[in-house]
Structure 1
Amino acid sequence: MKIFRITLLLLLICSTSFAVAEAKAAKKPLIVFVTGDHEYSSELTMPLIAAELEKHYGMQTVVLKASPDQNAEENIPGLEILKKADVAVFFLRWRRLPAEQVKYIEDYLRSGKPVMGFRTSSHAFNYPAGHPLEKWNDFGEFALNAPPGWEKKGNHTHYGHLSTTEVSVIPAEVNKPILTGVKGPFTVPSWLYRVLPDYPVKGSTWLLMGHAINPDKPATDQPVAWMGNNSFGGKVFMTTLGHPQDFEAEPFQRLVINAIHWAAGKPVPREWKGRITMNIQYDQHPQPVKP
């Protein structure tokens, strides 16, 4: 009888452990997109990526937007959802959020959870000198392994609005799961951002290299996507691409979907569900535009 009880107890423990593991595997990761830029229509592109993740890849998503519109620099409602997020995806540009909203972002970063960033998130914040939150102007560096701010360290600028970028996969990294199905070279409308020689920060793994076509000054090739760990220990994926028509390029679409899976700790999909219909036109908003 004693042996029977022990056997039954072991079976119950194994059954419970299996059920817990199964439930954990079935949990849908929550991906939170935080948008707010003046130029690249992230408030339109990110919801389409989010919809694809929900429809085909078994994820939950929330897309936060600047209010009342993309040009509003001081308010992104709903940031408290970051408390529940499994991955935070930022597409920001020159925000001046109030301290109570920044606190949600800070708490998320300090948790060591994964972070992704697009293009102008290297200069996500733009507080004036002496402001209590001025350190957040370096968000690109401490959160995304990118240059901190615009036209600061590393001469973070671009090669002109009339240029485009040819993108290729760095040969040494071609077998990385995050690059599954990502074939190059391909050309995107984004004008190439300059990040070298000091960025991405040491320890980052470069994934894609960009070559400026028709640059307005002598140009050198620059990494346009990388992965690694940020200063908080969290996984990070960053790309300096993000022009709305960049998202028409199927290799870039696939990289984004792969990166979100990688960040969420999920296997990169072996089966590609096909091109995502985007059709978002570049409409430069009436704001002073540098990057």
Structure 2
Amino acid sequence: MKKLNVCMISGSFEYDSRKSLKIFQKYLAENYPLIETELIVYQDEDDNPSLRILESTDVIIIFTRRIRISGENLERLQEYCQTGKSIIGIRTASHAYENWLDFDTHVLGGSYQGHFGHGPISHVEILESQIEHSILEGISNFDAFGSLYKNPSNAADTTTLMTAKTNQGHCQPVTWIRERQVGESISRVFYTSLGHQDDFHISSFLQMLANAIFWTTRQ
């Protein structure tokens, strides 16, 4: 495996994304030494740290919520997403940027329409048809925390890997992939609507994110 440069972008304050991504950074450092990570942290919704690092990034991991990105940095992000490079979105990435509202539909292939409310644990299950997928290697079904997101009409070119169901009977896709045509290139995209703080203490969740890095980068 070649060295991979991973850029993590934190800006989901409700879910303490900085702390959660640092947990994932530590997991990668302990298990995958050839993955080098850089963490960019937004201090508030109007912060605008440089995204120049995207020029040398192999995969971007976005965990932000309604950030008002603008100017040169918005251009850099949009350019990155049009190069065919790898993209991973976590939870609030479905509404990551207030200045780029169609990032969810255009890039992730999602259809975020709110959530079912706080409280109930979701029972996450691997779709039987996808059990052999490399992203799910070493993964078991698990219970996840946080509200269940509604994504009722994802893009036709997405493939759902996992669904989650609450005790109230609500069931939604929570993990999917997409091979997105970008000019003459194919960009591999992974998204999960999971990502509550407690999810980052679940080994299957961390392993799934690591596997997603390898799948999106074709390693």
> How high is the TM-score relative to the length of structure 2?
0.93
- Contact (CA 8 Å) 1:118, 1:239: kept in 2 or not? yes
**Letter paired with 1:33:** M
The 2-side partners of 1:176 and 1:260 are apart by 14
Aligned Cα RMSD in Å? 1.5
Whether 1:244 and 2:216 are equivalent positions in the alignment is: no
The alpha-carbon deviation at position 213 of structure 1 amounts to 2.8
Encode CA deviations 1:146-169: one digit per residue, 9 max, x unaligned. 12xx6xxxxx12111122211000
Which SS does the other structure have where 1:158 is aligned?
coil
**Counterpart in 1 of 2:80?**
108
Contact 1:50 1:61 (C-alpha < 8 Å) held by counterparts: yes
Show the counterpart of 1:195.
151
Counterpart of 1:130?
none
2:209 matched residue in structure 1: 256
Q: Deviations over 1:227-254 (max 9, x none)?
A: 1223533100000001010112222121
AA paired with 2:145?
Answer: P
Whichever residue aligns with residue 124 of structure 1, its letter is: A
Task: Indicate the residue corresponding to 1:137 in structure 2.
Answer: 101
Tell me, in whole angstroms, the C-alpha distance in 1 between the residues paired with 2:7 and 2:55.
Answer: 10
Displacement of 1:145 after TM fit? 1.1
* Structure 1 unaligned regions, length at least 5: 1-24, 128-135, 151-155, 267-291
Counterpart for residue 137 of structure 2: 180
- Which SS does the other structure have where 2:212 is aligned? helix
Tell me the residue number matched to 1:126: 98
Give the superposition deviation at 1:203. 1.6
Structure 2, unaligned stretches of length 5 or more? none
> Counterpart of 2:138 in structure 1: which amino acid?
G
Q: After superposition, what is the alpha-carbon deviation per residue over 1:48-78, rounded to whole angstroms, capped at 9, x for unaligned? A: 2123223321211101000xx2xx1122413
More RCO (CA 8 Å, sep 6+): 2
Kindly provide the amino acid, as one letter, of the partner of residue 7 in structure 2.
V
Select 2:166's aligned residue among 212, 220, 230: 212
Question: What CA distance in whole angstroms lies between the structure 2 residues aligned with 1:210 and 1:90?
Answer: 21
| TM-score after normalising by structure 1 | 0.70
C-alpha contact 1:74 1:98 (8 A) present in aligned 2 = no
Distance 1:40 1:76 in 2: 19
- Distance in 2, Cα, partners of 1:229 & 1:51: 28
Q: Does the residue aligned with 1:211 lie in a helix, a strand or coil? A: strand
**Offset, 1:102:** 0.5
**Where does residue 224 of structure 1 map in the other structure?**
174
3-state SS of paired residue (1:137): coil
Higher strand share: 2
The sequence identity of aligned pairs, in percent, is: 29
Give the number of aligned pairs: 215
Provide the C-alpha distance between the structure 2 equivalents of 1:51 and 1:231, rounded to a whole number of angstroms. 33
Distance 1:117 1:230 in 2: 14
How far apart, CA to CA, are the structure 1 residues paired with 2:92 and 2:180?
17
Q: Which has the larger radius of gyration?
A: 1
Q: Name the SS for the 1:81 alignment partner.
A: helix
* Cα distance in 2 for residues equivalent to 1:49 and 1:251: 12
**1:273 — aligned with what?**
none
Residue type matched to 1:123 in 2? H
> Is residue 75–residue 98 contact of structure 1 (8 Å, CA) maintained in 2?
no
The alpha carbon displacement at 1:255 in A equals 0.8
